Amino acid sequence: VSHDPFLFLKWQPPQFKLDPRLARLLGIHTQTRSAIIQALWQYIKTNKLQDSHDKEYINCDKYFQQIFDCPRLKFSEIPQRLTNLLLPPDPIVINHIISVDPNDQKKTACYDIDVEVEDPLKGQMSSFLLSTANQQEITALDNKIHETIESINQLKIQRDFMLSFSKDPKGYIQDWLKSQSRDLKVMTDVVGNPEEERRAEFYHEPWSQEAVSRYFYCKIQQRRQELEQALAVRNT
C-alpha cells in the first residue's frame, strides 16, 4: 500500500513560495518576504526601472507589467501587491510503501530532510557589534589604522624625495624649480615672461642663488628635526 505523508515545516521567519512568473524572473523558488523584496529591488536597480525624475515610482518593464498588471507603480506598493503572488511553501512528501504481506518482515525506513536553521553565531555577532565597549575598541583601532596609513604615506613621500634627489640632484632641483614656479604663478596670477625664463641668464641673477640657499636650508632643518625626533624616540 502506498502511503505518502506530507510534512509542513514551520519556517522561522516565515517563508513563501513565489508565483511561477515571479520565480522565473528572480530565480527564487521559496524565500522570506524580506529576501524577496530585496531581490525585487536588486532587479529594479539592475534594469534601471526606477523613475529618473520621481524616485518613488517604478517604471515597469514587460515582465513587471505581466506580473503586477500595471505600467507604473510606487515601490511602497510592492509589499501589498506581493500578497497575491506569495503562496505557502510546498510540503515535504515522503513516498513510503506499507507492506500488507504477513510474511514480510518489519522494515524501518529513514529519510533525510533538509531544514534551514539559524546560524548560532549570528546572535553572538549581533551582541558583539552592539556592545559599546567593543564599538569603542573598534573605533580606536580604526583611528590607529588611519594614523598608521598617514604615517606610511608621509614616509613614502620622504623616501621618494630622497631617492629622486640621490639619483639626479641637478635634474631634481630643476624639476622642483619648474614646479614651484608654476605653483607661484597660479597662486599669484603672475604670468611672467616665458622668453626671459627660457634663457640661462635669467637664473644667474641674485634671486636664484637666494632661492636655492633657502631651499637647502629648509630641507636641512627638516631633516634635522626628523633626526632629532628619531633619536628622542630611540632614547625613550
For residues 223, 226, 227, 229, the Cα torsion angle rounded to the nearest 10 degrees is 160
Pair 107, 34 in one domain: yes
In a domain, 233, yes or no: no
Task: For 44-102, write each residue's pLDDT tens digit.
Answer: 999 999 988 888 899 999 999 999 989 999 988 888 888 899 999 988 888 877 777 77
Q: Within this chain, do residues 46 and 143 fall inside the same structural domain, yes or no?
A: no
Q: Are residues 141 and 102 in the same domain?
A: no
What is residue 97's three-state secondary structure?
strand
Q: How many CB atoms within 10 Å of residue 15?
A: 19
List the grid coordinates of 113: 530532510
95 lies in the same domain as 131: no
Q: For a pLDDT cut of 90, what percent of the chain falls above it?
A: 24
Average pLDDT over residues 193-203: 74
| Bridge-based pairing state of the strands 15-18 and 96-97 | unpaired
Shared domain check, 158 and 104: no
Residues 109, 14 share a domain: yes
Between 199 and 69, the higher pLDDT residue: 69
Residues 109 and 14 in one domain: yes
What CA–CA distance (Å, rounded) separates 93 from 101? 24
Query: Are both 98 and 21 inside the same structural domain?
Result: yes
- The span from the CA of 17 to the CA of 133, in Å, is 42
Task: List the domain range (segments joined by +) for residue 146.
Answer: 118-167
CA nearest to 31, candidates 83, 89, 79: 89
Number of domain units in the chain: 2
**Cα radius of gyration rounded to whole Å, the chain:** 37
One domain, residues 97 and 13 = yes
Cell numbers that stand for 215 in this block: 631651499
